[in-house]
Amino acid sequence: MTVRRLIAPLWCSLLLLPLVACGPDDTGGADPAAGAGVEADAGGDLADLPDVPRPACPFTAAKVTELVGQPMKDQGNCLFGDGKGVAMLTITTASPVAGETTYDYQRQQATASYREVQDVDKGRKAYLAVKDIGGEAVVVSDTGSYTVTLSSFERLGASTDGYERTLRQLLDALPL
């Protein structure tokens, strides 16, 4: 009876041991210090970025209220809401290196999710994406990286350029 209980764990360990012992797939000569999903030769962009930590949330509820044109409440962790559970503004911050590493993927995802995606002249690189019910802006700068997301603002959606105009104002106010 005791032997029977040990058979399943024994088989599992025998199956998993070769996978663990072999380690990850051969990197094909790539620099392992480049990190997962990062090409070793990234055109020097990552090496040019300053090694600074992730910046703090750049805005207060009062500043966000001023920029979006309607009362907003601080809901913690750089998340601002209208207090009704509808309109939301989120700012995600990251180090310059982290922002550079994920920028192309974020832009590709934005192209699939938003009606219009355009480059903007902010920081090292930036884009702005909009659709009828929301918008997103991503900027990578020497002081940090910022992803700004707006969603479900009735006033902004009522205007053809409401989200774009507001995102541009938010980008202008960032400490780049």
> Which SS3 state, helix, strand or coil, does residue 11 take?
helix
First CA to last CA distance, the chain: 68
Taking only the tens place, the pLDDT of each residue in 36-67 is 444 434 445 576 877 788 999 999 999 999 99
Taking only the tens place, the pLDDT of each residue in 112-157 is 999 999 999 999 999 999 999 999 999 999 999 999 999 999 888 8
- At 129 the pLDDT is 97
CB contact set of 99 (below 8 Å; sequence gap of 6+): 138, 139, 140, 144, 145, 146
- At 9 the pLDDT is 53
> Which SS3 state, helix, strand or coil, does residue 79 take?
strand
- At 7 the pLDDT is 54
CA pair distance 160, 70, nearest whole angstrom:
18
- pLDDT tops 80 at residue 34: no
Please report, rounded to a whole number, the percentage of residues in the chain having pLDDT higher than 90.
Answer: 66
- At 45 the pLDDT is 58
Count helices and strands (H / E) in the chain: 6, 7
